[in-house]
Amino acid sequence: MELTLNELKPNPFKRFIDDGKLNEDRISVLIESIEHGTLPEHFFIRRNENGENELCSGHHRVEALKRKKGKDYVVDTTIVKYTDEQMLIDMVRENITQRDTDFHDKQQSIVLAREWLRSGVNSVKQFHNIMKGKKGFQAIKKEDSCRSIAGFLSKNGKAVDYHTVADYIRIYDVLDKTLQKEVGSDEFTVRDAISLSRIEDKEEQKIIANVVKEEEEESGHARSKLVTKYLELPEEVKDRVKEGALSLKEISIPDNTMGSGEMAIKFEVRATGLINEMRTLRKALFQFRSEKLFDNFTPKQRGVFKTRFETIKQVYNELIKELENSIKVL
């Protein structure tokens, strides 16, 4: 079915992504694609209750075509019978999987999917009323773990990676909002944001963000690696780093010919890392049980996990005995 660009209306959920605004840099790139004849000009639409043609996705492509060829330019379309939920999934999935989508669009898209699941509604009108805080509408809290969100967005199509969802949700929930605004630039990458979000205190995040930025420029070390090094330090050493009395890049303890003081610091760093790893493992195991993920395991996967757990248990018991002997000496 052929329609003019002006007849194509936005996806009803588009208003929830950066208030419906489009990314100018992305539009410029797409205009270049038009000039080279490589931009797809086919769109999937649905007819809403008012008879309007709503885009499932492709808003930036439509805008680029409008600017280059005019609003009366005719394109091919295919009508699909999508529910409101399917319209949301289609738009969010494209935002996440497109290479040229910026960090903030991806993050807001994933958060939008979470809010939809939390709302418990089945229409965009109800969802809009809840998001605007209108009286008479109360969000129904539903399960919205990162795994649930990834599964929701993978319905009837290409799977959305669970780890991507988990990273972006954690950045949104934990990282200081002023730092989030900087994510996506050469100076502050998504990987940097993921590393800093492992620090719970937001003021501490901002301090360490400045520390690693300055030290990365001097030493050439990756910022994320400097943050990881910071997280493994004892609290008293962290305090000295935050005060500017100690440089992260200078904290390097050789494995050989160490004095007792150096060995103590090295042990403290390794012990802190081990504790953090054990806590992470514990959270993962709890999630496996609470979400009943073990029920989906094949017999082979069950055997592999059981063997791994038994090995961990054996090594852990040996470590406990060694710790008890060391405590007696102290």
So where are the chain's domains? 2-174, 297-330
Q: Is the pLDDT at 179 greater than 90, yes or no?
A: yes
Q: Is the distance from CB of 229 to CB of 251 less than 8 angstroms?
A: yes
Phi, psi of 226 (to 5 degrees): -65, -40
Contact 97, 160 (CB under 8 A): yes
Cβ contact 113:88 at 8 Å:
yes
Q: What is the mean pLDDT of residues 4-18?
A: 95
- In the predicted structure, residue 220 carries a pLDDT above the cut 50: no
265's CB contacts (< 8 A; 6+ apart) are 234, 237, 253
pLDDT at residue number 162: 87
249-272 average pLDDT score = 66
| Structure confidence at residue 178 as a pLDDT band (50, 70, 90) | very high
Per-residue pLDDT at 219 exceeds 60 = no
Is the pLDDT at 215 greater than 50? The verdict is: yes
Alpha-carbon torsion 29, 34, 36, 37, what sign? Answer: positive
Comparing 136 with 25, which gets the higher pLDDT? 25
The overall average pLDDT reported for the chain is 86
Yes or no: say if 182 and 217 are a contact pair by the CB < 8 Å rule.
Answer: no
Q: How far is CA 3 from CA 22, 53, 200, in A?
A: 22, 9, 51
Q: What is the pTM of this model?
A: 0.70
Q: Which of 18, 225, 172, 165 is nearest to 102 (CA)?
A: 18
Question: Phi then psi for 272, rounded to 5 degrees?
Answer: -60, -40
Residue with the bigger pLDDT between 186 and 96: it is 96
